[in-house]
Structure 1
Amino acid sequence: MSDAALPPLTIVEIQHRVGAELDRIGSVIDELGVLFAEAGEELALVGGPVRDAMLGRLQSDLDFTTSARPEVTERLVSGWADAVWDMGRAFGTIGCRKGPWQVEITTYRSETYDPTSRKPDVDFGDHLAGDLGRRDFTVNSMAVRVPGREFEDPFGGIVDLAERVLRTPGAPEDSFSDDPLRMMRAARFAAQLGFAVAPEVVAAMTAMAGRIEIISAERVRDELVKLVCAPHPRLGLSLLVETGLASHVLPELPALALERDEHHRHKDVYEHTLTVLEQSIDLEHRLGSGPDFISRFAALMHDVGKPKTRRFESGGTVTFHHHDVVGAKLTRKRMQALRFSNHDIEAVSTLVELHLRFHGYGSGEWTDSAVRRYVRDAGTQLERLHILTRADCTTRNQRKAERLRRTYDSLEERIARLGEEEELASIRPDLDGNQIMEILGVGPGREVGEAYRFLLELRMDEGPRTPEQAEAALRGWWAGRQG
Structure 2
Amino acid sequence: MVDLRAHLEDIPVFKIVSEAARECKVDVYCVGGYVRDLILKRPSKDIDFVCVGSGIELAKVVAGKLPGKNQVNYFKNFGTAMINSGDYELEFVGARKESYRKNSRKPVVEDGTLEDDQNRRDFTINALALSLNEDNFGELVDPFGGVKDLRRKLIRTPLDPDITFSDDPLRMMRAIRFASQLNFDIEPDTFESIMQNAGRIEIVSKERIVDELNKIILSPKPSYGFKLLFQAGLLNHFFPEMVDLHGVEKRKGQSHKDNFYHTLEVLDNVAEVSDDLWLRWAAILHDIAKPPTKRFNPKVGWTFHGHEDKGARMVPGIFRRLKLPLNEKMKMVQKLVKLHLRPIALVKDTVTDSAVRRVLFEAGEHIDELMMLCKADITSKNHERVKRYLKNFEKVEKKMKEVEEKDHLRNFQLSITGEDIMKTFDIKPSKVIGEIKDEIREAVLEGTVSNNYEDTYPLMIEIGNRLGLKQKQKS
What's the TM-score once normalised by structure 2's chain length? 0.92
Quick one: distance in 2 between partners of 1:50 and 1:184? 21
Quick one: distance in 2 between partners of 1:112 and 1:459? 67
- The amino acid of 1:421's aligned partner reads K
- The amino acid of 2:216's aligned partner reads L
Deviation at 1:176, TM superposition (A): 0.9
Quick one: distance in 2 between partners of 1:74 and 1:465? 62
Quick one: distance in 2 between partners of 1:468 and 1:385? 32
Deviation at 1:69, TM superposition (A): 2.0
* Residue aligning to 1:280: 270
* Residue aligning to 2:230: 241
Task: Indicate if the aligned counterparts of 1:265 and 1:316 stay in contact, CA closer than 8 A.
Answer: no
What's the secondary structure of 1:426's corresponding residue? coil
Are 1:86 and 2:73 counterparts?
A: yes
What's the secondary structure of 2:410's corresponding residue? helix
Quick one: distance in 2 between partners of 1:366 and 1:478? 33
Quick one: distance in 1 between partners of 2:319 and 2:207? 11
1:105 aligned residue (89, 92, 107)? 92
* Residue aligning to 2:276: 292
Deviation at 1:364, TM superposition (A): 4.7
* Residue aligning to 1:447: 432
What's the secondary structure of 1:257's corresponding residue? coil
- The amino acid of 2:430's aligned partner reads G
Q: Deviations over 1:147-168 (max 9, x none)?
A: 4122111111111111010110
Q: Could you list the runs of 5+ residues in structure 1 that have no partner in the other structure?
A: 1-13, 285-290
Are 1:96 and 2:83 counterparts?
A: yes
Deviation at 1:87, TM superposition (A): 5.2
Are 1:50 and 2:50 counterparts?
A: no
Q: Is 397-406 or 335-344 further displaced after alignment?
A: 397-406
- The amino acid of 1:134's aligned partner reads R
Task: Indicate if the aligned counterparts of 2:126 and 2:146 stay in contact, CA closer than 8 A.
Answer: yes
Quick one: distance in 1 between partners of 2:220 and 2:380? 24
Quick one: distance in 2 between partners of 1:152 and 1:440? 82
Are 1:469 and 2:459 counterparts?
A: no
- The amino acid of 2:317's aligned partner reads K
* Residue aligning to 1:165: 154
2:413 aligned residue (428, 431, 434)? 428
Deviation at 1:123, TM superposition (A): 1.0
Are 1:180 and 2:179 counterparts?
A: no
Map 1:312-327 → 2, pairs under 5 A: 312-315=296-299, 317-327=301-311
* Residue aligning to 1:11: none
- The amino acid of 1:136's aligned partner reads D
Deviation at 1:23, TM superposition (A): 4.3
What's the secondary structure of 1:424's corresponding residue? coil
Quick one: distance in 1 between partners of 2:6 and 2:418? 65
Q: Deviations over 1:285-334 (max 9, x none)?
A: xxxxxx22111121122111111111122157111111112222333322
- The amino acid of 1:133's aligned partner reads N
Quick one: distance in 1 between partners of 2:441 and 2:420? 14
- The amino acid of 2:289's aligned partner reads G
Structure 1 pair 477/258, CA: closer, same or farther in 2 (3 Å)?
Answer: same
Give the aligned length: 461
Q: Is 337-346 or 389-398 further displaced after alignment?
A: 337-346
Q: Deviations over 1:397-437 (max 9, x none)?
A: 23322221122111111111111112111222221222222
Q: Could you list the runs of 5+ residues in structure 2 that have no partner in the other structure?
A: 470-475
- The amino acid of 2:164's aligned partner reads S
- The amino acid of 2:161's aligned partner reads P
Structure 1 pair 24/261, CA: closer, same or farther in 2 (3 Å)?
Answer: farther
- The amino acid of 2:228's aligned partner reads L
* Residue aligning to 1:215: 204
Deviation at 1:71, TM superposition (A): 3.9
* Residue aligning to 1:287: none
Deviation at 1:113, TM superposition (A): 4.1
* Residue aligning to 1:9: none
Structure 1 pair 325/100, CA: closer, same or farther in 2 (3 Å)?
Answer: same
Identity %: 33
Task: Indicate if the aligned counterparts of 1:258 and 1:307 stay in contact, CA closer than 8 A.
Answer: no
* Residue aligning to 2:48: 63
Structure 1 pair 113/301, CA: closer, same or farther in 2 (3 Å)?
Answer: farther
Quick one: distance in 2 between partners of 1:293 and 1:336? 17
Q: Deviations over 1:453-482 (max 9, x none)?
A: 222222222252553432221122112212
Quick one: distance in 2 between partners of 1:331 and 1:191? 25
Structure scoring higher RCO (CA < 8 A, sep ≥ 6) equals 1
Quick one: distance in 2 between partners of 1:329 and 1:448? 27
- The amino acid of 2:269's aligned partner reads Q
Structure 1 pair 466/103, CA: closer, same or farther in 2 (3 Å)?
Answer: closer
Map 1:250-289 → 2, pairs under 5 A: 250-261=239-250, 263=253, 265-284=255-274
* Residue aligning to 2:143: 154
Deviation at 1:131, TM superposition (A): 0.2
Task: Indicate if the aligned counterparts of 1:52 and 1:58 stay in contact, CA closer than 8 A.
Answer: yes
Task: Indicate if the aligned counterparts of 1:310 and 1:319 stay in contact, CA closer than 8 A.
Answer: yes
Q: Is 328-337 or 460-469 further displaced after alignment?
A: 460-469
Task: Indicate if the aligned counterparts of 1:364 and 1:407 stay in contact, CA closer than 8 A.
Answer: no
* Residue aligning to 1:288: none
* Residue aligning to 1:308: 292
Structure 1 pair 355/20, CA: closer, same or farther in 2 (3 Å)?
Answer: farther
Structure 1 pair 174/309, CA: closer, same or farther in 2 (3 Å)?
Answer: same
Task: Indicate if the aligned counterparts of 1:70 and 1:106 stay in contact, CA closer than 8 A.
Answer: yes
What's the secondary structure of 1:240's corresponding residue? helix
Task: Indicate if the aligned counterparts of 2:360 and 2:409 stay in contact, CA closer than 8 A.
Answer: yes
Quick one: distance in 1 between partners of 2:443 and 2:97? 67
* Residue aligning to 2:185: 196
Are 1:409 and 2:399 counterparts?
A: no
Quick one: distance in 1 between partners of 2:451 and 2:365? 25
